[in-house]
Amino acid sequence: MAFFFEVLITGLMVGIMYSLIALGFALIFKASDVFNMAQGAMSLFAGLALVGFLHQYMHLPLWLALLCTVGVMTIWAYVIVFVVLKPLVNRPPLMLFMATFGVMYLMEGIGQSIYGTQAKGLNIGIPDNSFEVAGIFMSSFDLFFAGVAAVLVAGLIWFFQKTRNGRALRAVSDDHEAALSVGIPLLKAWYLTWIIAGIVATVAGVAWGTRLGVQFSLSYIAFKALPVLIIGGLDSIPGANRPLFQALRSVRKRDS
């Protein structure tokens, strides 16, 4: 029985790591009806940028490096919305979807040219000790990111439910034209969404990068988060954080 709970808890932790990525998908899908293929690439690029600021090119303190990484993701958000998506407003969603493919390759390519192709270690000083609670082994690293994910989701829910801009973003996701008719500028709303998605991608990039090393397969780990999306709902922010399915998945995997 203890083994069952141990696997369950570990599964939940891994699920939370996936849900960090799923959150980014859900955000963008909600605001613009686009399935963002570049979500994984965004996490990758954020990871690469952080390594660049922290170890590779500069040796900034962690908080500054994180801030700079978020800055880089904001620039990406601007480029994606105002250069790539702007000409495609009011085109079928499929076109925007294809455009995000392009963004994915662009991010991977630029990432490779700047930071090189080899896998890089990322150490942000979170200890990865395992300890035992009531006969169940847990990792402090997993717990830390579970906490970060919880804070992030709570923050996003608060933002979307209670603030004026959050309300505007929800309005945009329901009906673009009606949102425009009440005076909500569509592109500005999208820009805000992509910035938030960039921040979420940064957190996911840091979590996965620290665990696996920052490498190009990060770009595809995103697609393993798809089951979370299907179960939790493609347009649901609380839903994206339902890691139970992932937990069950890992239980089954280890039993067989």
Minimum distance, C-beta of residue 185 to another protein, in the bound complex (Å)? 5
Judged by beta carbon, residue 61 or residue 185, the one nearer another protein is 185
Judged by beta carbon, residue 141 or residue 159, the one nearer another protein is 159
23 Cβ neighbours under 8 A, 6+ residues apart: 152, 153, 156, 200, 204, 237, 240, 241
Minimum distance, C-beta of residue 167 to another protein, in the bound complex (Å)? 6
Judged by beta carbon, residue 127 or residue 183, the one nearer another protein is 183
Q: What are the two backbone dihedrals, phi and then psi, of residue 137, each rounded to the nearest 5 degrees?
A: -80, 135
Minimum distance, C-beta of residue 82 to another protein, in the bound complex (Å)? 14
Minimum distance, C-beta of residue 36 to another protein, in the bound complex (Å)? 20
Minimum distance, C-beta of residue 160 to another protein, in the bound complex (Å)? 10
Judged by beta carbon, residue 173 or residue 215, the one nearer another protein is 173
User: In whole angstroms, what is the distance from residue 141 CA to residue 197 CA?
Assistant: 23
* Residue owning tokens 């599964």: 11
Q: What are the two backbone dihedrals, phi and then psi, of residue 237, each rounded to the nearest 5 degrees?
A: -75, -45
Judged by beta carbon, residue 180 or residue 248, the one nearer another protein is 180
Minimum distance, C-beta of residue 170 to another protein, in the bound complex (Å)? 6
DSSP 233: -
Minimum distance, C-beta of residue 21 to another protein, in the bound complex (Å)? 23
DSSP 182: T
Judged by beta carbon, residue 2 or residue 187, the one nearer another protein is 187
The two three-digit tokens of residue 161, written as one number: 């439910």
Closest of 67, 81, 75, 43 to residue 209, by C-alpha = 43
Distance of CA 175 to the CA centre of its chain: 24
In this structure, the chain runs to a length of 256
Binding residues for another protein (CB under 8 A): 89-90, 164, 167-168, 170-171, 173-186
- The per-residue b/e assignment along 224-236, b for 16 or more CB within 10 angstroms, e otherwise, is ebeebbebbbbbe
Judged by beta carbon, residue 129 or residue 181, the one nearer another protein is 181
Q: Work out the number of other CB atoms within 10 angstroms of the CB of residue 132.
A: 9
